[in-house]
Amino acid sequence: MIDVLAAVRAHLGEHFDRLGITAEPDAASVTFLGTERIDVLRFGPDDEGISHYVSLGCSRHPMFDPTEMVTDALRGPRAEVAVALRGPSPKGLARSLAIVAATPVVEGLMLEPDALIDLESPLWESAPFTAFLLGRSEISEVPLTAPLPPVTVLSATPITATEAAWVRLKGADAMRDAWQQDGVDVLDPRRRAAKPS
């Protein structure tokens, strides 16, 4: 049986090597009661001062839609989540990212593009952000041996409570459009919230 986490870890190393981030990542481990360990790897910072934080552990098991009557323990989708931020590592971010990575096991949530994961508390110390908006990342899917499907690495963008409300009302694409129109840098951990009309 393939070691899924080893395959994901190797794929991440290759991805960031191509970006010029060749140093071994820093790692933080988080364990929640009744769950297996989630690691959070920090790659970088790169030449632009951006660090990439990627979960490792979510893809250990396939995700299941709790509304489905029949589940496939082998072919269910698998995912990890990645956050990119400019500047020093915010204290508490690794725990928040691990919480998101654990939600498929703990709460039965499916991690997929455009999903809103609201933690309802600051994502790190003194952060104005309380939720993550998931999307497609620049990291390609991690191929696994058939019949296992590939692992998808999703981007997780920190958003404010106001932005989360906007996503619920108008949708993820409308939020991304507002960021673009307002010139919002979502990689800035001290950015202002977008004010969509």
pLDDT score for 147: 85
DSSP state of 197: -
What residue segments make up the domains of the chain, in order of their start? 4-182
Whole-structure pTM value: 0.94
SS3 track for 158-182: EECHHHHHHHHHHCHHHHHHHHHHH
pLDDT score for 69: 59
Long-range contacts, stretch 39-47, CB < 8 angstroms, 24+ apart: 40/93, 40/94, 40/97, 40/98, 41/9, 41/12, 42/89, 42/94, 43/12, 43/16, 44/16, 45/86, 46/19, 46/20, 46/21, 47/20
Helix (H) or strand (E) holding 71: none
Q: What is the pLDDT along the chain (197 residues), one digit of tens a residue?
A: 579 999 999 999 999 999 999 999 999 999 988 889 999 999 999 999 999 999 999 999 999 876 665 566 677 899 999 999 999 999 999 999 999 999 998 888 999 999 999 999 999 999 999 999 999 999 999 999 988 899 999 999 999 999 999 999 999 999 999 999 989 999 999 987 776 66
DSSP state of 142: B
pLDDT score for 40: 98
